[in-house]
């Protein structure tokens, strides 16, 4: 939950200070002071005000990093991303950008415009660091040479928007700033104009390490976007989308926009609906994805389609979810599963290397796992492959005389006798963990769904200790540790339960411990594929089969015969139906422990699609009402087709090592779906209700 952060803001109330007090605010002081050599050579009056150097704190952006924090290069706003621009961005307000001038421009008469990043007042000399998206240029205002400009500079403060004219000169020897690409030069001012004044910002803009409450950043997002970390992320996102588009255009794809006012259809979450004024009582839905439309485009003969699609889902939010999000949506005709996966993999490699060439790919080609394999080994269908800690089955070491498990520890024996599993992971270096840490891990496992967590610690001497050793005996305890792959000083964590619970709990513990112990290299990009998912899962409450992923996903050809029920009637399904064993032509692409996206080869025959929907509890009338356009389109010759959707927000977050997609979105919502800047959502005007023939029914009245 987000809370208002004004009370924790270190500069709240600064705008009420007087001019002299305000001069002492960090950002207006000598954060990047002149050297003694420069002062002796140029300073005509003693420095005014206290001379402090700010110490770096922890930035909110670093606290939100995915895994260990990514340290941004301390080079101001001068980065390759910010200096890549066309040969000229000249306008009536500037001849060059603030990141463009070099030693070769010395002697040129230029005009720059931008924001005052810092101001340093040395009496007759005033230094302004002038900033725009492309970089920073040091501006020198000399009261002797340009008294009028000096008078204006005396009134300038941080974040004022100014325009400066002058001559490019070389910095004095010893005062160059190697951190800036403009660090060899400075602009000697002949004219200075204030284009717009600025109130004192509610948080530091010129210090990327200053801690800022996230709710404050969202409320003043236009100021947060000026900060270096946020600008770098948005610029990377722009390069990501550009690279995606280029890769698709070079491979025969056609970019087509699909509408955002469509018919409501079930796609896994609640729809956002839009009432129609022209057709009272009817509503549009905002698309959760362009799923039906892109399949219809294949029927239309487009062959290869893509778009950067805006999508909307009314669901509970978390770090990798927002109510509105952007995805790469693509569909291809006359393809099989391997064709789609091969193209997407080549595209992902090309895009990753174009956008983040400094980040190595863990493995190429990407590893490919079946769903069953990945759950057995990692306990997750989106595994983080940057570290090991795989799940290990301990059952082969447990004796079973007469087919009855006999480890001596009843929890293990009962689980195996009931058809369950006994599996383990090894936490490196935690063999000497105190009891409090073990208790914490046990509570975490219970929170994940386990009934308990057993453990064995392998000491440096090779002996095994732990509460269950007295039941297992030394020999079996040592054999279990050996099978788990534990070494001296390691801790073996064991869960005994049903297969699904055991895998899920250990998988989540693996992810949790991997983050806590810093096992994953934050610089590595570890992509992998997961495919051959179950086609359906049983909905106990609904008494029907539900698609595990997309309801339009095709079935593995050899499993098509399984799409039936014990009763022989698709409208009367049961948990024992052969349909529960069918596998889908579904594939997911995972990156560093996140699901980057998923897709499938679609059902492209009407009869098979109707059968699949019947197993999912749809009557023929309901099918036609919700999917009539696509069902009818399939009667006019639908080609085999398939595709995928990849989350642009998630991809950008992973490429910038962020833990939430809010950090790569210009204007995100809070976890409650609130836009703190625009104060949305908000009640509509009464006239809008009247136009739509609507009224608000209070929750209490609806319950009654």
Residue pLDDT, tens place only, 511-534: 999 999 999 999 999 999 999 999
Does residue 345 form part of some domain? Answer: no
CATH number of the domain at 38, please. Answer: 2.40.50.140
Q: Which residue has the tokens 């039936």?
A: 564
So what's the pLDDT on residue 704?
53
Q: How confident is the model at residue 345 (pLDDT cuts 50, 70, 90)?
A: very high
- Residue 521 is predicted with a pLDDT of 97
Q: Is residue 93 pLDDT above 90, yes or no? A: yes
Distance of alpha carbon 323 from alpha carbon 649, whole angstroms: 12
pLDDT tier at 318 (50, 70, 90 boundaries)?
Answer: confident
Dump pLDDT digits (tens) for 409-458. 999 999 999 999 999 999 999 999 999 999 999 999 999 999 999 999 99
Q: Mean pLDDT across the stretch 400-406?
A: 90
pLDDT tens-digit map of 6-17: 333 333 333 323
CA 564 – CA 578 distance, rounded (Å) = 6
Distance linking the first and last C-alpha atoms of the chain: 30
C-alpha of 614 from chain center: 36
Residue 44 has pLDDT above 50, yes or no: no
Q: Which of 189, 204, 219 is the last residue of a domain?
A: 204
pLDDT of res. 139: 98
Spatial distance between the Cα atoms of 585 and 223, rounded to a whole number of angstroms: 46
Q: Does residue 370 carry a pLDDT above 90?
A: yes
Of the candidate ranges 1-10, 158-167, 640-649, the one whose mean pLDDT is the lowest = 1-10
**Any domain includes 176:** yes
- The answer as to whether 177 is a domain residue is yes
Cα radius of gyration rounded to whole Å, the chain:
31
Question: What mean pLDDT do residues 567-592 have?
Answer: 95
pTM of the predicted model as reported, rounded to 2 decimal places: 0.85
Query: What is the band of 703 on the pLDDT scale with cuts at 50, 70, 90?
Result: low
pLDDT tops 80 at residue 76:
no
| Residue 50: pLDDT band with limits 50, 70, 90 | very low
- The larger pLDDT score, comparing residue 71 to residue 201, is at 201
Q: What is the predicted pLDDT for the residue at 651?
A: 98
- Indicate whether 142 belongs to any domain: yes
The string of pLDDT tens digits covering residues 454-496 is 999 999 888 999 999 999 999 999 999 999 999 999 999 999 9
- For residue 63, pLDDT over 80 is answered with no
Average pLDDT over residues 567-583: 94
Does 142 score more than 90 pLDDT? yes
What does the pLDDT look like over 253-278, one tens digit per residue? 999 999 999 998 776 678 999 999 89
Q: Which residue has better confidence, 164 or 41?
A: 164
% pLDDT > 70, the chain: 86
Q: Answer whether 80's CB lies under 8 Å from 133's CB.
A: no
Structure confidence at residue 239 (pLDDT): 98
Q: How far apart are CA 258 and CA 260, in angstroms?
A: 7
Whether residue 550 is contained in a domain is answered as: no
Q: Is residue 471 part of a domain?
A: yes
Q: Specify the CATH number for the domain of residue 420.
A: 3.30.1360.30
Of 204, 238, 255, the residue that ends a domain is: 204
Does residue 252 surpass a pLDDT of 70?
yes
Listing DSSP states for 74-130 in one string gives -BTB--HHHH---S---BTTBSS-TTT--GGGTT-EEEEEEEEEEEEEETTEEEEEE
d(CA 144, CA 44): 10
| Mean of pLDDT values over 179-185 | 96
Residue 36 pLDDT class (50, 70, 90 cuts):
very low
Q: Give pLDDT, residue 316.
A: 82
Predicted pLDDT at 700? 66
- Mean pLDDT across the chain, nearest whole number? 87
> How confident is the model over 555-584, as a mean pLDDT?
95
Please give the average per-residue pLDDT across 330-350, as a whole number: 98
Q: Residue 230: which residues within 8 A CB-CB, separation 6 or more? A: 61, 224, 663
Which segments within 217-323 are labelled E, that is strand? 254-255, 273-275, 283-285, 304-312
Sequence-ordered list of residues with C-beta below 8 angstroms from that of 534, at least 6 positions apart, any chain = 371, 548, 580, 582, 583, 584
Span 100-120, average pLDDT: 97
Instruction: For 385, list phi and psi in degrees, rounded to 5.
Output: -90, 5
Range 568-584 average pLDDT: 94
How many domains does one find in the chain?
A: 2
Which neighbouring-strand residues pair with 168? Answer: 187
Dump pLDDT digits (tens) for 155-169: 999 999 999 999 999
* Boundary residue ending a domain (464, 492, 519): 519
C-alpha 370/C-alpha 389 separation (Å) is 19
Consecutive H or E run containing 169: strand 161-170
| Residue range(s) defining the domain that contains residue 106 | 6-57+76-204
Range scoring the smallest mean pLDDT among 43-57, 263-277, 298-312, 636-650: 43-57
Q: Within a domain: residue 395?
A: yes
Over residues 300-322, the mean pLDDT reads 92
Residue 185 scores a pLDDT above 90: yes
Residue with the bigger pLDDT between 66 and 77: it is 77
CA angle 585–589–590, rounded 5-degree value: 135
Q: Is 77 exposed, middle or buried (0-12, 13-18, 19+ CB in 10 A)?
A: buried
């Amino acid at each position: 939950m987000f809370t208002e952060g004004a009370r924790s803001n270190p500069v709240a109330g600064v705008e009420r200070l007087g001019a002299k007090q305000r001069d002492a605010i960090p950002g207006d002081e000598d954060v990047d002071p002149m050297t003694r050599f420069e002062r002796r050579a140029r300073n005509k009056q003693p420095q005014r005000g206290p001379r402090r150097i700010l110490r770096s704190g922890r930035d909110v952006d670093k606290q939100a990093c995915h895994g260990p924090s990514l340290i941004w290069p301390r080079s101001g706003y001068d980065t390759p991303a910010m200096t890549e621009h066309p040969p000229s961005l000249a306008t009536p307000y500037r001849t060059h950008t603030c990141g463009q001038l070099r030693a070769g421009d010395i002697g040129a008469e230029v005009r720059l415009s931008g924001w005052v990043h810092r101001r340093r007042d040395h009496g007759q000399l005033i230094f302004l660091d002038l900033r725009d998206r492309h970089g920073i240029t040091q501006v020198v205002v000399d009261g002797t040479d340009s008294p009028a400009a000096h008078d204006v500079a005396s009134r300038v403060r941080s974040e004022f928007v100014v325009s400066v004219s002058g001559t490019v000169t070389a910095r004095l020897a010893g005062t160059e700033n190697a951190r800036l690409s403009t660090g060899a030069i400075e602009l000697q001012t002949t004219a200075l104009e204030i284009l717009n004044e600025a109130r004192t910002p509610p948080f530091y803009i010129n210090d990327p390490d200053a801690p800022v409450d996230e709710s404050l950043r969202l409320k003043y997002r236009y100021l947060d976007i000026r900060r270096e970390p946020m600008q770098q992320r948005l610029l990377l996102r722009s390069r990501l989308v550009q690279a995606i588009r280029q890769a698709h255009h070079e491979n025969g794809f056609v970019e087509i926009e699909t509408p955002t006012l469509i018919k409501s259809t079930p796609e896994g979450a609640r729809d956002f609906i839009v009432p129609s004024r022209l057709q009272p009582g009817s509503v549009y839905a905002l698309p959760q994805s362009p799923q039906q439309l892109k399949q219809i485009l294949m029927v239309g003969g487009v062959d290869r389609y893509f778009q950067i699609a805006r999508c909307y889902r009314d669901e509970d939010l978390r770090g990798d979810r927002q109510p509105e999000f952007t995805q790469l949506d693509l569909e291809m005709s006359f393809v099989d599963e391997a064709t789609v996966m091969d193209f997407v993999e080549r595209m992902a490699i090309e895009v990753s290397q174009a956008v983040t060439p400094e980040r190595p790919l863990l493995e190429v080609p990407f590893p490919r796992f079946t769903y069953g394999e990945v759950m057995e080994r990692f306990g997750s269908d989106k595994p983080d492959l940057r570290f090991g800690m795989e799940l290990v089955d301990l059952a082969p070491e447990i004796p079973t005389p007469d087919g009855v498990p006999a480890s001596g520890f009843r929890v293990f024996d009962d689980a195996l006798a009931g058809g369950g599993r006994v599996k383990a992971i090894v936490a490196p270096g935690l063999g000497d963990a105190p009891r409090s840490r073990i208790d914490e891990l046990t509570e975490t496992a219970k929170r994940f769904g386990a009934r308990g967590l057993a453990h064995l610690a392998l000491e440096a001497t090779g002996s095994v200790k732990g509460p269950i050793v007295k039941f297992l005996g030394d020999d079996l305890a040592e054999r279990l540790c050996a099978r788990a792959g534990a070494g001296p000083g390691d801790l073996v964590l064991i869960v005994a339960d049903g297969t699904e619970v055991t895998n899920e709990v250990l998988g989540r513990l693996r992810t949790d411990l991997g983050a806590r112990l810093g096992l994953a290299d934050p610089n590595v990009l570890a992509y992998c594929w997961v495919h051959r998912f179950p086609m359906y899962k049983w909905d106990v409450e609904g008494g029907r089969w539900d698609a595990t992923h997309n309801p339009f996903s095709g079935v593995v050809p050899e499993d098509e015969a399984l799409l039936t029920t014990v009763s022989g009637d698709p409208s009367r399904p049961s948990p024992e139906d052969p349909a529960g064993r069918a596998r889908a032509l579904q594939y997911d692409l995972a990156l560093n422990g996140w699901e980057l996206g998923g897709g499938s080869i679609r059902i492209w025959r009407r009869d098979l699609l109707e059968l699949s929907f019947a197993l999912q509890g749809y009557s023929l009338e309901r099918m036609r009402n919700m999917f009539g356009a696509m069902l009818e389109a399939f009667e006019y010759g639908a080609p085999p087709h398939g595709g995928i959707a990849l989350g642009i927000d998630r991809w950008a977050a992973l490429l910038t090592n962020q833990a939430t997609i809010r950090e790569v979105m210009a204007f995100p919502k809070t976890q409650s779906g609130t836009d703190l800047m625009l104060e949305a959502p908000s009640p509509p005007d009464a006239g809008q209700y009247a136009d739509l023939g609507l009224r608000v029914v209070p929750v209490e009245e609806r319950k009654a």
